[in-house]
Chain A
Amino acid sequence: MAALSAAEPTTPPDGTAVRRPTKRRRRLLPRQLTGSPLALLALGVVAAWIVVAFFAPALAPYGPLAQSITGRLEPPNSAHWLGTDPLGRDIFSRILYGARLSIPVGMIAVALAVVLGTIVGGSAGFLGGTADEAIMRATDLMLAFPTVILALVITAALGSGIRNAVIAIMIAWWPSYARLVRGIVLSLRDREYVMAAQALGGSRLRIFLRHVLPGTISPVIILGTLDVGHAILTFASLSFLGLGPPPQIPEWGSMIASGRNYLDQWWIGTFPGLAILTLVLAFNILGDGLRDLLDPRYSSR
């Protein structure tokens, strides 16, 4: 989310950028995704990584924890395609297993941030007035803390581990979703169909839950999807700093960290980084296309 909000500061705060009929989106989506070979390739890469995550035990030639005293620090060869690490573990197998961790972690962290952000932003937009002002100031406050520093403090305090890293990412990210949801709620609130529902005598809460909130779902889900790549990157950064899962668990960030002490054995750190890069890049390419749909300012004029 950080990347997104930074890239679009000119978007009006009332969320007009997302005010587009859904009909148009449905028609454009296939063309945007199939029209560009790059987007197709990205879709393929993401799909391939998901397959890898599902079938890692079948695909990996070695176990992720299988050590070999005699086969330590081997450069890439026919037995170990991407070489072995300081404990003689097969890097290729560990990278495949790493996908099983990074992809779900990225998705869960974003999903939690989306839920929390929707609740907070939705309440702000629903309540309005002083409550809205107070909630949004608190949100701005959270945004003043750089993501990694915030996540660093949280994971360091809660203790390192996968669950705490996810919590840290969630806490650092929900404010951007809160802002987004509030913006959409405010823009939908004065729409004619909402007024019509009011005229029909629907209660405020009912109108909000039945008519306003659903309108936020699709942009939030789309924007959340694009953020999965970013979440994977943040998780890897935390792991790299030693705040992720314990070292024996195959995780890309901590694999790169273990390469820091073996500069001559370049393969230890290089290949896990390529795994992160390909997956995150693919997510971002997909997200880039989807964002064009959401933000008419960037799409074809």
Chain B
Amino acid sequence: MTLHRYIIRRVLLLIPMLIGITLLSFILSHSIPADPIATNLGDRAAADPTIVAAFKHRWGLDQPLYKQYLVYLWNLIHGDMGTSISTRQPVLLDLRQHLPATIEIAVAALCLSLLAGIPLGMLAAVNRERPIDQAARLTSLIGVSTPSFWLGLIAIVVFYDRLGWAPAPARLSADLTPPPFLTGFLPVDAIASGRWDAALDWLRHLILPAVVLSAYSLGIVTRMMRGSMLEVLGEEYIRTARAKGVTRWAVTVRHTARNALIPIITMVGLSFGGLLSGAVVTETVFTWPGLGLYAFSSATSLDFPAIMGTGIIVASVYVIVNLVVDVAYAFSDPRIRVG
């Protein structure tokens, strides 16, 4: 199969996947035995049958489930995800406001873990079975074993409470007027409106949560890179390069690392789900107003439209990121047989 046919096929496969995601989000948020009336109306309102009926009618809760789903799908196609029960805002607007914040820390954490993990994995592979390798292995194991909420708490105690180096947990200092909402990405909005103070303040707030969130993916990147390096180091062309007298550095970096990086591309896509999971916890600890915090508050208040919207967005982002990654993978390595 040629490359562009592969891409077309993958994009077409995306459609049933996205429909499946909406269906699953719907089932998850509706078939569970929970009562949105009890959680969203007060005790007195819930005792009043007319208020309850009005509430049910407003959210379509009085219709059969499959109809509710079709109505939801129809509205979704028209860019309407319903209104959040707790914020009383359109869910799409809520997501629009929260998603950028999550992308900010997820991307920052991903960059940190790649920057540290790739060299660490290379070092470990080149010094295989030596102390450096053992240390790198232990580091990566500690990375995946540390509870991120605990690490976040320790970071806050040490760097904010004790040393005073870090600002109070938030996305922006409370006494700073946020820049006007353009893209939703704070640094972009701040710089676009000439608010360098806000951009700098954002960066100071970003460091701790990003470092905490990166711990887990750092562990995975390091181990992946090590394994991938070892695999390439065993190839015959590496032996040929060595026999030709290519320097050790050139063999490691130019011949091995460049090819070993290819599987890391896939890893970036797969670890994105882990990053989003980690973001839920990290955002709660650092009161970072992202999708994780939104998912948490809407899940605990049984805000069905918000839960569904979050589920759909998060899963779609994951699926699309992985599609892009797979295509990039097929492009970067002609040896890969797609089909």
Contact = CB atoms under 8 A, between A and B. Distances in A.
A82 B295 CA distance: 34
- Which secondary structure characterizes the binding site on chain B? helix
Contact of A273 (B34, B153, B156): B153
A14 interface: no
Interface in A258-284: 259-260, 263-264, 266, 269-270, 272-273, 276-277, 280-281, 283-284
Contacts of A272: 150
A33 to B, nearest CB: 16
Interface in B24-60: 24, 28-29, 32-34
Interface in B249-274: 263, 266-267, 270-271, 273-274
A277 B145 contact: yes
A229 B151 CA distance: 17
A10 B299 contact: no
A145 B280 contact: no
Interface in B316-339: 318-319
Contact of B147 (A10, A143, A156, A236): A236
A141 interface: yes
- Which secondary structure characterizes the binding site on chain A? helix
B147 A237 contact: yes
A157 B137 CA distance: 39
Contact of A138 (B20, B146, B220, B278): B20
A164 to B, nearest CB: 10
B106 to A, nearest CB: 11
A149 B270 contact: no
Contacts of A50: none
A148 B278 contact: yes
Nearest to A266: B157
A146 interface: yes
Nearest to B307: A153
A276 B147 contact: yes
A49 interface: no
Contacts of A264: 161
B299 A153 contact: yes
Nearest to A278: B145
A205 to B, nearest CB: 30
Interface string B129-170: 000001001100110111111110110110011000000000
8 contacts: A8-B227, A144-B17, A146-B273, A156-B307, A159-B34, A229-B145, A270-B154, A276-B150
Interface of B: 16-17, 20-21, 24, 28-29, 32-34, 134, 137-138, 141-142, 144-151, 153-154, 156-157, 160-161, 220, 223-224, 227-228, 230-231, 234, 263, 266-267, 270-271, 273-274, 276-278, 280-281, 284-285, 292, 295-296, 299-300, 302, 307, 310-311, 314-315, 318-319
